[in-house]
Amino acid sequence: MKKRLLASRVFNDTGDWFYYFVIVVIIYTMSRNPIMMGILSASYTLPGILVSKKLANIINKLNDRTSLIMFDLLRVIVLIEIVLTSNVWVALICVFLEQVFAIGSNLSFQRVTVDVVQDKEGLLKFNRHLKAFSNISRLLVIPSYLLLHRFVSNKFVLGLDILFTIVSLFETFRIETTHCKSSAEDIGSLELKKFHFGKITKMILVFSLLNVFRSFVDAYGIMYIGKISKNVSVGYAALVFILSIADLLGSLMSKNIIKIENLSQNKILIWSFISILVLFTIPSVIHNVCCFIITIFLIRLVLSILGLFVLYNMQSSVPEKIHQYTALQTMAIDGVSLVNSIAGGFVIQEIDIFNYMKIVILTVLILEIIIKNINTSIAT
């Protein structure tokens, strides 16, 4: 069952990498309007903020595997609509819906994972393998897309996402789960609004806060490179490639860092927080492309390891509520990304990007102090 579950998600993730590569180009060629590109960016983050809680509560009432199959089937339907439509507004609505269903699929997958992989060592190994295989597929997708787009249309490449998702569904159908319903527990106690501000919640918020540095690179990495280099395309391509390497190395290195005996301690969280702040300070002061790429590589490496650390803590501490806490994390990360995308653009226009980086560091530090000083009410 573990191998089928792993294969199902790797196929799913591989299709997603093709999707993320081509959807920007598809929307751009449909409209060539910067406003539409802004709406596209919002379509990635708004679903996580608006519907994560509702999706988690829906999953409570369904069989875990059934909800996973349902959301992936809905994703296939909207992907087909994107391929067929020539109307940019229809395509943007489908992008929004695809993200909604992708979140539902991920929440359901977390429920199925803690059901199928029940021992702690098994969870650590499964998470590590999934992360590694997913990042290997991303590294393979990059040259594959560069080769394919010379001969076929971007919508044909998007069809590969549909194909991989269907293959993933076939593997999901073969998985057997033990929970008939996620709502076997008291559903009322699982409501997101009733979450206590405890250890796991704090961990999620700190991790989400640190993801502002990932969000910064996604939104403004190309602007930083363009500010200090004439060869923007080469610099940005190098950045994207090396970030993929960082994610892969993070999954491999986690084996020697994330261990059951040190999960009760906060050393990994504290070490990650301090190192990311220090690293991000360097390119804000030293304006050099190579320096920027190296420090962002190291930050991404730390975030990759920290992401696995936070995931395992949720899986082992609150397995029956894993989809609820994953929903909370999705909302928090997407909220941080949305604020960074909206506020960052205006701030960078008024001051330069290097000063904005310093503001981000100071803001994260202040918010971390506030989070740390909030009293913990219960263990999780």
Of the listed ranges 32-46, 165-179, 190-204, 302-316, the least confidently predicted one is: 190-204
Residue type, 233: S
Is the separation of the CB atoms in 88 and 36 below 8 Å?
yes
Q: Buried (b) or exposed (e) across 309-345, using 16+ Cβ within 10 A?
A: bbbbbbbebbbebbbbbbbbbbbbbbebbbebbeebe
Measured torsion, CA atoms of residues 129, 130, 136, 139, in degrees rounded to the nearest 10: -150
Distance CA 338, CA 346 (A): 13
What confidence tens digit (pLDDT) does each residue in 359-371 have? Answer: 999 999 998 888 8
With cut-offs at 50, 70 and 90, classify the pLDDT of residue 162. Answer: very high
Nearest to 335 by CA among 45, 24, 27: 45
- pLDDT tens for 270-326 read 888 999 999 999 999 999 888 999 999 999 999 998 888 888 888 888 888 888 888
Q: How far apart are CA 269 and CA 246, in angstroms?
A: 18
CA distance 324 to 318: 9
Asked if residue 171 has pLDDT above 50, the reply is yes
Confidence of residue 195 (pLDDT cuts 50, 70, 90): very low
Percent pLDDT > 90 in the chain is: 27
Q: Is the pLDDT of residue 52 over 50?
A: yes
Q: Per-residue pLDDT tens for 236-273?
A: 667 878 888 998 898 888 877 776 655 555 678 888 89
Predicted TM-score (pTM) of this structure: 0.76
Query: Residue 128: pLDDT above 90?
Result: no
Contact yes or no for 215/336 (Cβ under 8 A): yes
Q: How far is CA 188 from the centre of its chain?
A: 28
